[in-house]
Amino acid sequence: MVTINKLSYRFGKKDLLHDISYRFRPGVLNLIIGPNGAGKSTLIKMISRQLPAPTGTILYGKQPIHCFSPNSLAKMRAVLSQQVDLVFPMQVEEVVLMGRYPYFNGKPAREDYRVCQDVITYFDLGKLVGRNYNTLSGGEKQRVHFARVLAQIWNKKDTELRYLLLDEPLTFLDIYYQFNFLQKLKELMQQQPLVVVGVIHDLHLAARFAEELVLLKEGSILASGTVNEVLSKENIQDGFGIEWTNVFTSFLHVSDT
């Protein structure tokens, strides 16, 4: 469970987030939607402690996140962001192994190699092993990154919760990989205890895959709840300022209210 309580964030004179409280439950896909500048990425960055939280609290379970050391935080929460490029060439399996860096000093343990093998199998990356990361296509790179990020919080043994945050990870991917990612993610949530919170732009994908939606507008929560509750005619018009009928037909089949 991730609990945020009365969270605000100011940058200069602008209120990016204003008094936000919410609970993200484990085992369900929580997606945050909203127009540009609504504060979605700011919220994800605060939950992942990339940004400090000067006012309000963020709890992982019952612990405020500022209590964790950088290393122990790295072992329990991972962030998948947009495609990352490497400055120097590196092999795919080395990139995946980076996800295990918080766990060892010097030489990787057998467990670390096992986890890498697990995630490589899970994401069908076997064929890419041995390749130079920089020569991969965008979709392949993002799959490698997904594998690396999950290697960081891979947890098959204990029941301790891990936290996975998604910061618009699908932006540069084609529709096949977008579906592929979200499906893999849903599968994984069945197998491992995870809290997943993501920011996504595509309302169709949100409607199709999310269990819980949060609609942000101008730094406040406009609506939250199930897909049907959040993607209502009024909310779409209020939140995005476009006519309901323009989007209506396209995801009619999932949220026919």
Partner 1 sequence: MLSNKKRRLVEIGLLVGLLISVLFSAGIGAVSIQSEEMFSAIQKFIQNKQNLNLNERIFMEIRLPRALLCVLVGASLATGGSLMQALFRNPIVEPGLIGTSSGAAAGAALYFVMGAQLPVLFSTYTLPLASCLGAMLATALVFFLSSAGESKSSSTTALLLTGIAVNAICLSAVGFLSYMARDPQARSITFWSMGTLSGASWKAVGITGLSTIIGIGYAFRLAHPLNTLMLGEQEAMLLGIRIQRLRLTILIIQVILVAVATSFVGVISFVGLIVPHLLRMLHGSDNRLLIRNAALLGAIFLSVADMAARLWLKPAELPIGILTSIVGAPVFLLLLPKTNYF
Please state the closest distance from residue 137 (CB atom) to partner 1, in A: 13
The torsion angles phi and psi of 238, rounded to 5 degrees, stand at -65, -45
From 21, 55, 63, 71, residue interacting with partner 1 (rule: CB under 8 A): 71
Q: Does 254 bind partner 1 (CB under 8 A)?
A: no
Q: Does 132 bind partner 1 (CB under 8 A)?
A: yes
Please state the closest distance from residue 172 (CB atom) to partner 1, in A: 16
Q: Does 142 bind partner 1 (CB under 8 A)?
A: no
SS3 167: strand
Alpha helix positions (H), the chain: 40-47, 70-76, 92-98, 110-122, 138-153, 175-191, 203-209, 227-230, 233-240, 244-248
From 67, 84, 109, 252, residue interacting with partner 1 (rule: CB under 8 A): 84
- Quick check: 153 and 116 in contact, CB under 8 A? no
Please state the closest distance from residue 254 (CB atom) to partner 1, in A: 33
Both tokens of 64, joined, read: 């405020």
Pairing of strands 194-199, 29-33: parallel
> What's the rounded Cα separation, in Å, for the pair 22 and 4?
5
Q: Which is nearer to partner 1, 105 or 190 (CB)?
A: 105
From 48, 142, 178, 192, residue interacting with partner 1 (rule: CB under 8 A): 48
Question: Which positions lie near partner 1, rule CB under 8 A?
Answer: 48, 50, 69-75, 78-79, 81, 84, 86-91, 94-95, 98-99, 101-102, 105-106, 130, 132, 134-135, 152
